[in-house]
């Protein structure tokens, strides 16, 4: 079964909301995942991608958070929780999902930040992920001239 870009974006949105809840509440992630699967309409979402994000990403938060920390100008804990969840998803994708072009990763993250983040949060997310792409996808980034879609 193949999913559209819209279905993948919807899965990211659900994952961002679930990771936000996990981050703030400390609730067991499998319980949050179950709540989302019961309470949200996944008919237009890439449910397997949502499941991947909520299963694989938490196992790598130490590595993901270190990458983010290296690129920001404040303590990681001071990040807006919505932006922290968005950055975690995007850095995970940059690290693990080579099938998703870095420009798509950045653009999707910027769109989430525009919709759910702080007033200028999307600019912050774009800047951090532009730097992250330059490091984590150096070859792809150079080939594209170091330009992001989120600008």
Q: Is 138 left (phi over 0), alpha (psi -120 to 50) or beta?
A: alpha
Q: Which tens digits make up the pLDDT trace of 3-22?
A: 688 999 999 999 999 999 99
Residue 143 corresponds to which tokens in the numbers above? 């080939």
The pLDDT score that the predictor gives to residue 4 is: 85
Residue reference for tokens 């992630």: 29
Q: State pLDDT tens for residues 40-98.
A: 999 999 999 999 999 999 999 999 999 999 999 999 999 999 999 999 999 999 999 99
- What phi, psi does 95 have (nearest 5°)? -80, -40
Structure tokens at 147: 């330009």
Could you give all domains of the chain from N- to C-terminal order, each with its CATH number?
A: 5-143 (1.10.940.10)
CA contacts within 13 A on the Cβ side of 148: 24
């Amino acid at each position: 079964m193949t999913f559209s870009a819209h279905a993948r974006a919807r899965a990211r949105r659900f994952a961002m909301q679930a990771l936000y809840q996990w981050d703030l509440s400390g609730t067991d992630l499998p319980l949050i995942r179950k709540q989302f699967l019961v309470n949200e309409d996944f008919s237009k979402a890439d449910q397997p991608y949502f499941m991947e994000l909520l299963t694989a990403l938490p196992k790598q938060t130490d590595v993901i958070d270190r990458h983010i920390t290296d690129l920001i100008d404040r303590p990681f804990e001071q990040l807006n929780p919505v932006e922290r969840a968005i950055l975690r998803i995007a850095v995970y994708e940059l690290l693990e999902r080579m099938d998703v072009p870095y420009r798509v990763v950045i653009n999707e993250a910027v769109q989430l930040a525009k919709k759910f983040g702080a007033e200028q949060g999307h600019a912050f997310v774009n800047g951090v992920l532009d730097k992250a792409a330059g490091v984590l996808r150096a070859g792809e980034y150079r080939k594209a001239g170091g330009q992001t879609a989120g600008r």
